[in-house]
């Protein structure tokens, strides 16, 4: 009976599965790298150059793999990724027969002369091929092949016909490798074993009674091919994106080369102008020197002329008087005595300046030269550049008051690795568009040396919503930011701008005492609800009495964080009555259940210490009391609704996710990096609008003014159990997280996005 079943199964599926599609492969469409080993450059064959596929989907021949294998590992010769050899057996890397068929197909298309008969071994020229045997045959072997009992029904196709035949004509039947099943083709697929099987295997080794699910191989092929084609499409799009990125990088490199030439010329031109200015100044100083010398010489020359005349007169008179005294007789001398005495007295009494009317005191004073000029020259010019990666730029807008120049925006630059950029001399520009559509330039303050960011100041003269556009090095950040100008003083939403280390001391303070409810309640701010129109802003704090013992509550019950390594000595594993034992967080000090609209806000600051792939960072939730402490989070309960940040398995980034009853509803990346590197610092502000009457819970991004999610059909009413706000912090070994409440009178306005969502 069993033999008959086997025969029936076998007879039904002895024929090869029907090909899904037929295609003629063009030689020009096949890369040489696909038909040759990338290590030895030999053409693949079925003897000594057998192609084997590595996990990276690159191929290498078996002989090369043998030489590359070292202690159970080898490195791909193409992408250089290192792979482990399963059980140190290279045969575990599957042989790729498709390449062999493809090479045959291409040789036939090209009319390759080295196609020899594979049957007789006499190296005769092949003229045809047996489809079933997959062998090329000469004329004599083809005749014999059609006459033997075993092969006379085989399909013999001439090489001329094969040139126009689809690729499938070159594919041989894949038969079962199980001993005794050699003639059985793979006609089925076992879903349990995840492998093709023949008809005999399906009956003997894969029965339904043992949980094996046998499917026809074509059905599985179509199903898997559809999945693979979908992935191929995704990878193709990613490849196009990669090509665009490569082009962008190449363009950037070309731009750098062009900028190098252009700016080098600009520097040369600028310094040539400086040199010209110095030359002009040198000539000016020389001209001034010559003028000064000429003026002094003129004065001295005038004095010199006068003195020379007087000196000559004295010399002449002296000579005349001396000659008369020595050579004249008495009477003659006496005749001239009066003239001589008068002239000599006159010359003797005549005054003249014995000092030069000017001097040779003229010097060059190197004002603003020497060390001063060296210092100045070092400050001449500046190269503006930044490694800021625009998608990582963090822009934080603020609402401001009218008619006062105030900081309305903070801009922090990060590189592609998420490292904050603290270099100055970066061209940052902000354009503000007022409600009337007029554009104004904001004042940019470089605070990189002190705070590691840039600030933008603006004096608003019109009330209402303003739009801001940010430019870094002349490139516009694609996001548009908005802020409001109001008539009165503006209250900052949450002051979470200091880094985590400073906040621990300056804002968090010491952990609250949680020994008894009375002590905790005395430390907390009294509960006073606040009304904004019809909306209740409930005043509540974190419940210090029930929070998990790994949680610190700070700032009069308004801030929580996971205890750090510095406070681990305070963590106790002893079970304390009334305290959360499993849920890693804290509850609000009051629940929500009375009819009405409620709104509160939360600020989150987190800093990545180590790489996060799938761990949770924080959670905000609404949950019934009896399901809060059943798990570390509340996202898996039917009576709980959760918003959490965690490493997302879908996109590989840190995402903000919404959950209900164990189902992931939405996920949105919080970080553009994949994954977020250590050192990543993020601040987020969330608003929560709860409509108990309509059973809606709305979550908004306060900072970016966006509605994130709208939970509906909450199980809540005045007659049902109340819902408690819960807040969880996780993975303190990987991330530092602080959550700060803003409730009651601290709420100054309700985001428009929350109000608009109520209407929907």
> Would you call 753 helix, strand, or coil by DSSP?
helix
What pLDDT was estimated at residue 626?
86
The CA distance from 408 to 442, in Å, is: 9
> Would you call 63 helix, strand, or coil by DSSP?
helix
- Identify the CA nearest to 361 among candidates 292, 290, 291: 292
What pLDDT was estimated at residue 17?
47
What pLDDT was estimated at residue 649?
63
Q: Which residues contact 524 (CB under 8 A, 6 or more apart)?
A: 541, 544, 556, 557, 589
> Any idea which fold 527-540+584-759 has?
Jelly Rolls (2.60.120)
What pLDDT was estimated at residue 523?
38
Cβ atoms within 10 Å of 81's Cβ, excluding its own: 11
Q: Which pairing describes strands 405-412 and 394-397: parallel, antiparallel, or unpaired?
A: antiparallel
The CA distance from 579 to 551, in Å, is: 11
What pLDDT was estimated at residue 592?
86
Asked whether 675 and 612 are in contact (CB, 8 A), the reply is: yes
The CA distance from 126 to 109, in Å, is: 14
Residue reference for tokens 């076992």: 190
Quick one: tokens of 317? 């008179």
The CA distance from 53 to 94, in Å, is: 6
Buried b (16+ CB within 10 A) or exposed e, 488-503: eebeebbebeeebeeb
What pLDDT was estimated at residue 257?
92
What pLDDT was estimated at residue 31?
63
The CA distance from 516 to 62, in Å, is: 73
- DSSP assignment letter at 432: E
Measure Cα distances from 23 to 26, 105, 163, 170, 620 in Å: 9, 11, 12, 12, 56
- DSSP assignment letter at 673: S
What pLDDT was estimated at residue 650?
61
The CA distance from 95 to 117, in Å, is: 24
The CA distance from 579 to 588, in Å, is: 13
The CA distance from 133 to 156, in Å, is: 10
Quick one: tokens of 225? 């091919």
CA angle 429-432-435, nearest 5°? 175
* Residues listed for the chain: 760
DSSP collapsed to 3 states, 287-351: HHHHHHHHHHHHHHHHHHHHHHHHHHHHHHHHHHHHHHHHHCCHHHHHHHHHHHHHHHHHHHHCC
The values of phi and psi at residue 664, to 5°, are -75, 120
> Would you call 160 helix, strand, or coil by DSSP?
helix
Question: To 10 degrees, what angle do helices 330-349 and 217-327 make?
Answer: 150
Q: Which pairing describes strands 135-137 and 405-412: parallel, antiparallel, or unpaired?
A: unpaired
Quick one: tokens of 179? 């001993």
Asked whether 541 and 741 are in contact (CB, 8 A), the reply is: yes
Beta bridge partners of 709: 699
What pLDDT was estimated at residue 760?
62
The values of phi and psi at residue 305, to 5°, are -60, -45
Q: Extract the residue ranges of the chain whose pLDDT is less than 50.
A: 1-22, 490-526, 567-571, 573
Domain covering 390-486: architecture? Sandwich (2.60)
Residue reference for tokens 């010329």: 265
Cβ atoms within 10 Å of 297's Cβ, excluding its own: 12
Give kind and range of the element (H or E) at residue 6.
Answer: helix 2-12
Beta bridge partners of 407: 457
Quick one: tokens of 573? 């594993």
Quick one: tokens of 305? 């002329």
The CA distance from 603 to 29, in Å, is: 57
Residue reference for tokens 């006159």: 346
- Identify the CA nearest to 512 among candidates 583, 606, 601, 589: 589
Quick one: tokens of 608? 């990545």
The CA distance from 235 to 265, in Å, is: 44
Q: Which residues contact 639 (CB under 8 A, 6 or more apart)?
A: 623, 624, 626, 627, 715, 721
Asked whether 592 and 723 are in contact (CB, 8 A), the reply is: yes
For the chain, give every domain's residue range: 2-218, 220-349, 390-486, 527-540+584-759
The CA distance from 620 to 629, in Å, is: 14
Give kind and range of the element (H or E) at residue 158.
Answer: strand 156-158
Give kind and range of the element (H or E) at residue 188.
Answer: strand 188-190
Asked whether 182 and 193 are in contact (CB, 8 A), the reply is: no
């Amino acid at each position: 009976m069993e033999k008959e079943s086997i025969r029936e199964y076998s007879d039904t599926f002895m024929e090869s599965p029907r090909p899904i599609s037929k295609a003629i492969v063009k030689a020009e469409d096949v890369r040489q790298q696909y038909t040759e080993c990338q290590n030895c450059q030999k053409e693949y064959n079925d003897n000594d150059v057998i192609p084997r596929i590595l996990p990276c989907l690159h191929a290498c021949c078996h002989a090369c793999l043998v030489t590359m294998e070292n202690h159970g590992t080898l490195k791909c010769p193409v992408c250089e990724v290192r792979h482990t050899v399963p059980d140190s057996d290279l045969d575990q890397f599957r042989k790729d027969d498709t390449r062999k068929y493809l090479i045959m197909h291409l040789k036939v298309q090209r009319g390759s002369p080295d196609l020899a008969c594979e049957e007789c071994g006499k190296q005769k020229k092949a003229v045809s091929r047996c489809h079933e045997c997959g062998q090329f045959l000469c004329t004599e072997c083809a005749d014999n092949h059609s006459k033997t009992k075993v092969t006379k029904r085989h399909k013999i196709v001439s090489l001329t016909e094969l040139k126009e035949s689809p690729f499938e004509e070159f594919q041989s039947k894949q038969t079962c490798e199980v001993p005794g099943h050699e003639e059985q083709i793979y006609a089925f697929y076992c879903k349990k074993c995840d492998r093709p099987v023949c008809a005999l295997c399906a009956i003997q080794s894969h029965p339904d009674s043992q949980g094996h699910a046998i499917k026809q191989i074509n059905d599985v092929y179509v199903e898997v091919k559809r999945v693979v084609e979908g992935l191929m499409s995704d990878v193709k799009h990613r490849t196009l994106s990669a090509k665009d990125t490569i082009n962008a990088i190449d363009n950037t490199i070309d731009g750098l080369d062009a900028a190098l030439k252009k700016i080098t010329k600009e520097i040369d031109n600028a310094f040539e102008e400086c040199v010209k200015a110095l030359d002009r100044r040198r000539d000016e100083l020389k001209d001034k020197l010559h003028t000064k010398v000429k003026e002094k010489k003129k004065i001295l020359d005038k004095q010199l002329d006068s003195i020379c005349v007087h000196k000559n007169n004295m010399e002449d008179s002296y000579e005349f008087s001396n000659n008369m005294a020595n050579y004249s007789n008495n009477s003659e001398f006496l005749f001239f005595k009066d003239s001589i005495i008068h002239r000599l007295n006159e010359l003797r009494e005549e005054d003249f300046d014995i000092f030069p009317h000017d001097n040779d005191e003229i010097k060059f004073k190197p004002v603003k030269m020497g060390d001063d000029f060296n210092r100045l020259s070092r400050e001449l010019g500046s190269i503006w550049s930044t490694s800021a990666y625009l998608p990582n730029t963090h822009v934080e807008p603020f609402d401001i008051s009218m008619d006062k120049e105030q900081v309305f925006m903070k801009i922090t630059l990060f590189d592609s690795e998420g490292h904050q950029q603290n270099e100055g001399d970066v061209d940052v520009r902000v354009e503000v568009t007022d409600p009337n559509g007029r554009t104004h330039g904001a004042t940019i303050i470089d605070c990189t040396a002190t705070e590691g960011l840039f600030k933008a100041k603006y004096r608003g003269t019109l009330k209402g919503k303003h739009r801001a556009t940010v430019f870094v090095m002349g490139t516009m950040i694609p996001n548009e930011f908005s802020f409001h100008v109001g008539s009165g003083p503006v209250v900052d939403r949450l002051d979470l701008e200091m880094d985590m280390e400073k906040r621990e001391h300056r804002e968090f303070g010491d952990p609250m005492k949680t020994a008894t409810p009375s002590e905790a309640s005395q430390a907390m701010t009294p509960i006073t609800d606040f009304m904004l129109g019809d909306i209740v802003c409930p005043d509540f704090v974190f419940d210090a009495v029930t929070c998990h013992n790994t949680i610190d509550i700070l700032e009069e019950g308004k801030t929580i964080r996971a205890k750090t390594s510095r406070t681990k000595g305070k963590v106790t594993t002893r079970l304390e009555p009334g305290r959360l034992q499993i849920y890693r967080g804290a509850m609000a000090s009051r629940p929500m259940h009375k009819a009405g609209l409620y709104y509160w806000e939360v600020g989150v600051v987190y800093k990545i210490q180590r790489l996060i792939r799938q761990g949770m960072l924080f959670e905000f939730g609404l949950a019934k009391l009896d399901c809060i402490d059943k798990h570390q989070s509340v996202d898996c309960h039917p009576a709980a609704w959760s918003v959490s940040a965690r490493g997302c398995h879908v996109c590989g980034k840190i995402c903000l996710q919404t959950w209900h009853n164990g189902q992931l509803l939405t996920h949105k990346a919080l970080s553009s990096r994949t994954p977020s590197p250590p050192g990543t610092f993020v601040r987020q502000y969330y608003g929560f609008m709860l409509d108990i009457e309509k059973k809606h819970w709305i979550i908004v991004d306060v900072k970016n003014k966006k509605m994130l999610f709208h939970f509906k059909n909450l199980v809540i009413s005045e007659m049902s159990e109340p819902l408690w706000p819960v807040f969880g912090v996780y993975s303190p070994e990987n991330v530092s997280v602080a959550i700060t409440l803003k409730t009651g009178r601290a709420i100054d306005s309700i985001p428009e996005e929350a109000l608009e969502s109520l209407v929907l």
